[in-house]
Amino acid sequence: MQNYRQLFDLTGKVAVVLGAASGIGQASAHALGSLGAHVVCADRDAEGAEATARDITESGQGSAEWRATDAADGTHIAALAEHTLVTHGRVDIAVATPALNIRKLIVDYTDDEFDQVMNLNLKGAFHFMRQFGVPMMKQGKGSLVLCSSMRAVTIEPGLGIYAASKAGIEQMVKGFASEVGSHGVRVNAVMPSIIETRLTAPLKERREIYDTYAAHTVFNRWGQPSEVGAAVAFLASDAASYISGSSLSVDGGWTAIDGPPTGLTQTRAST
Query: pLDDT digits over 224-235, tens only?
Result: 999 999 999 999
**Which domains does the chain show, CATH number per domain?**
6-194+225-248 (3.40.50.720)
pLDDT band at 265 (very low <50, low <70, confident <90, very high): low
Task: Give the long-range contacts of residues 119-126, CB within 8 A, separation 24 or more.
Answer: 119/72, 120/71, 120/72, 121/162, 121/165, 121/166, 121/168, 121/169, 122/165, 122/168, 122/169, 122/172, 123/72, 123/74, 124/71, 124/72, 124/77, 124/96, 124/98, 125/96, 125/168, 125/169, 125/172, 126/172
pLDDT at 59: 86
Single pTM value for the model: 0.93
Q: How much is the average pLDDT of 243-249?
A: 98
Query: pLDDT digits over 26-49, tens only?
Result: 999 999 999 999 999 999 999 999
Q: By percentage, how much of the chain surpasses pLDDT 70?
A: 96
The verdict on whether 4 is a catalytic residue reads no
Which one of the listed residues 162, 210, 213, 242 is annotated catalytic? 162
pLDDT band at 61 (very low <50, low <70, confident <90, very high): confident
